[in-house]
Chain A
Amino acid sequence: MVGNRFGKAVSLALLVSMLAFGIGFAQATDNTLVIAWGGTDTFDTYRSAFAAPLFVFSMVHDTLFAFDQELKPQPVLVESWELAEDELKWSFKLKEGISFHDGTPFNAAELEAYLEGSFFEKSFTGWMFANVEDLVVTGEYSIDFVLSAPTPLLIYNLAYPWNIIQPQGAIDEWGEAYGYDALVGTGPFAFDEWVQGEKVVLKRNDDYTHGPDFVQNKGPAHIEQIILREISESATQVNELRFGDVDYLGVPSSQLEAVLGDENLTVGAVPSYTSTFVVINHGQPWMQDWRMRAAVNHAIDRVSLIEAGWFGAADVSYSIVTPASFGYWPGMADWGKEILNYDPLNAARLLYETGWVLPAGKTVREKDGEKLSIKLITFNFYQTYGEILTAMLAELGFEVELFPFEYGSFYSVIQEGDWHVFLGGWIDQSGFGTLQSNVTSAGIAGGTNNSGYGNAALDALVELMNTTTDPVIREQASAAAQQKVVSDLYYIPVVVPLNYVAIVTDRVGGFDLLNAHPWRLGLIRALDLYIK
Chain B
Amino acid sequence: MTTSSAAEATSRKPRMTRMTPYDEAMGRYEPVLGLETHVELGTATKMFCGCPTTFGAPPNTHVCPVCLGLPGSLPTTNRAAIEFTTMIGLALNCRIAEWCRFARKNYFYPDMPKNFQISQYDEPLCTDGWMDLAADGKTFRIGIERVHLEEDTGKSLHVGSTGRIHGADYSLVDYNRAGIPLVEIVTKPIEATGALAPQVARAYVTELRELMRTLGVSDVRMEEGSLRCDVNVSLMPRGASEWGTRSETKNVNSLRSVERAVRHEIERQAGVLDAGGTVVQETRHFHEDTGTTTAGRSKEYAQDYRYFPEPDLVPLAPSPEWVEQLRVSLPELPSARRERLQKEWGLSDSEMDALRNADALDVVEATVAAGAPPAQAYKWWLNELSRRATEQGVELATLPITPVQVARVAELVAAGTLNDKLARQVIEGVLAGEGDPDEVVRRRNLAIVSDEGELAALVDAAIADNPDVAEKVRGGKVQAAGALLGAVMKASSGQADAQRARELILEKLGVPS
Question: Do A and B assemble together?
Answer: no
